[in-house]
Structure 1
Amino acid sequence: MQTGKQYDVIIIGGSYAGLSAAMALGRSLKKVLIIDSGKPCNRQTPHSHNFITQDGEKPAVIAGKAKEQVLKYSTVSYIPDLALSGEKGENGFTITTQSGENFEARKLIFATGIKDTLPDIPGFAACWGTTIVHCPYCHGYELRNMKTGILANGERALHLAGLVHNLTKDLTVLTSGKAAWTQEQIAKLDQHRITIIETGVVEIIRNGAQIEAVLFSDGSKLQVDALYAAVPFTQHSGIPASLGCELTEQGHIKVDAFQQSTVPGVYACGDNAAMMRSVANAVYSGNVAGAMVNKELTDEQF
């Protein structure tokens, strides 16, 4: 367990990506501290899919098993806390937490995820992650053949429409405003018999977490069993940006093929650094980050 406050690596975020990185480092006997606030982005999602050997399992069960396995490595420590700030020093980095603790490490790995910015539509948040979802790969099979809506506009809506149309033909795109497409794009939607509704969405009618209908500003309703929504996001942690990590145009932490950010000694993995939001990708990118940080530490010592 924790001995002292100096580490080879501090991993901020203890969900799938962070735990995967910690396992790679723990197996190489690196002294690692995981700082985790306990608020994974998918905490409302009842089941995880498209992750081989774990298809249909509850996300908390996967994370709990992973944490149990990772903490069996004696050089890995874990604290439930929120990392508030970070500073780069002469020999590495210092992380300050909400509880007032300071921890030092030669390298940092951010597995902090992202925070969805949900629209201020009554009923939306209660259904998010269950019957209002973001990803056909994560949820589409379970929602197949259902009466489905897509709450999006522009290129994102077209992207989702193509993927979801393969899963259900009862499909309506809700732009909640003027449709931002060319005539050719509208013709493609018409060709596939995808209805477009531009009227503003004002409420999600639901029964618990089950969406039942969408209420529009003109008082009309559309009955749906599932809704895909393209929502904006922000970085869950502002520390990478404060350290100088560059972000992509989409808002992800910019990393190379080895999960190295634009700041030497700082790595990022999982949803905060990738467009593909999935448990499988988080585990993969975390494993790469852990291995690459171990290589960098080894190269500096050997």
Structure 2
Amino acid sequence: MNHTKTFEVIIIGGSYAGLSAAMALGRSLRSVLIIDSSLPCNRQTPHSHNFITHDGKAPRVISEQAKNQVLKYNTVKMVNDLAVHGKKVENGFEITTESGQKFRANKLIFATGVKDIMPDIKGFSDCWGISVIHCPYCHGYEFKGQKTGIMANGNTAFHVTSLVNNLTNDISILTSGKSDFTIEQYEKLNQHNIPIIEKEIVEMEHKNGHIKNVLFKDGGKTGFKAVYAHIPFKQHSEIPVSLGCELTDQGILKVDMSQKTNIPGIFACGDSASPLRSVSYAVATGTIAGAMANMELTQDRF
């Protein structure tokens, strides 16, 4: 790849948020480098939904189309590599990649996303994003009217169940241990005939990621077409925190309305900086981050 080692902006992460930021900057003739390791968190998901004009498309199709459009802007370059280290230098930042390349820029945009931490349940990771899902808005319509499990507990389980109840009347809550609801929540669940299964889950029985049964430690099993799961996550990249960027209590990068972190010159967008994990929201925050980085460059130099 022919490029200089110095750019106005380095974007780490080349999925929806990062590409949107790059487009905003490329259209302002900013020299931009996107560093991407090609491991988006939704790579197993067969279809993306709730994104107008792209509803039902495979996520990789959307990202490939976006990449082709963004790289038509001559000032935007892309390298397939993993950013592993970052440091503050005079007038900006330096990023080192896994292959040993070093790049510098005045501004950084982190669009690195998050990494889901899979539970120790056989078959879970094979079904993740296919029939074990995280969001009613992204996937719920495709499982409307189907037998559905909610793998969560307490307030989270109650919240997700209330949303999913509009899509199907056949719901069971899977707490995989003692349930934890308020008296009012138990009463509401009983009113809607929603059973709570407290038995420990040991396996998701499936075929090519499409769940058939949830198997329990006591040897029993229950059939489902879909299971919503609330699982922990961590930042996909440790570089932002190493540079001093703050995290929220949820573990996402803390940003303001302009997608600025607490460190001057560093922005964050997409899943790494928002609990709203959707393609459309990632695109929106990427556009904001790119525009605000461009504004800062303008203010610095005009």
- TM-score interval, smaller chain: over 0.9
Aligned-partner Cα distance in 2 for 1:212–1:3: 50
Aligned-partner Cα distance in 2 for 1:57–1:263: 36
SS at match of 1:142: helix
2:26 corresponds to which residue?
Answer: 26
TM-superposed deviation, 1:144: 0.6
**Residues 1:69 and 2:57 aligned together:** no
Aligned-partner Cα distance in 1 for 2:283–2:235: 19
Deviations 1:153-190 (A, max 9, x none): 11111111011111000000000011111111111111
**Residues 1:6 and 2:6 aligned together:** yes
- The answer as to whether partners of 1:2 and 1:78 remain within 8 angstroms in 2 is no
Aligned-partner Cα distance in 2 for 1:257–1:58: 30
Aligned-partner Cα distance in 2 for 1:242–1:36: 19
Identity %: 61
Deviations 1:226-271 (A, max 9, x none): 1100010000000000001000000000000000001110000000
TM-superposed deviation, 1:207: 1.6
**Residues 1:174 and 2:206 aligned together:** no
**Residue type of the alignment partner of 2:27:** R
SS at match of 1:213: strand
1:286 corresponds to which residue?
Answer: 286
**Residues 1:108 and 2:108 aligned together:** yes
TM-superposed deviation, 1:206: 1.1
SS at match of 2:142: coil
**Residue type of the alignment partner of 1:209:** G
**Residue type of the alignment partner of 2:62:** I
SS at match of 2:287: helix
Aligned-partner Cα distance in 2 for 1:2–1:244: 32
Matched residue pairs, number? Answer: 302
**Residue type of the alignment partner of 1:102:** K
2:210 corresponds to which residue?
Answer: 210
SS at match of 2:156: helix
**Residues 1:57 and 2:57 aligned together:** yes
Aligned-partner Cα distance in 1 for 2:206–2:61: 27
Aligned-partner Cα distance in 1 for 2:2–2:96: 16
TM-superposed deviation, 1:218: 1.2
1:237 corresponds to which residue?
Answer: 237
1:89-238 equivalence runs, <5 A? 89-238=89-238
TM-superposed deviation, 1:198: 0.7
Aligned-partner Cα distance in 2 for 1:5–1:197: 57
- The answer as to whether partners of 1:255 and 1:267 remain within 8 angstroms in 2 is yes
Aligned-partner Cα distance in 2 for 1:172–1:11: 42
TM-score, scaled to structure 2: 0.99
TM-superposed deviation, 1:2: 4.0
**Residue type of the alignment partner of 1:170:** D
Which runs of 5 or more structure 1 residues have no equivalent in the other structure? none
Aligned-partner Cα distance in 1 for 2:297–2:289: 12
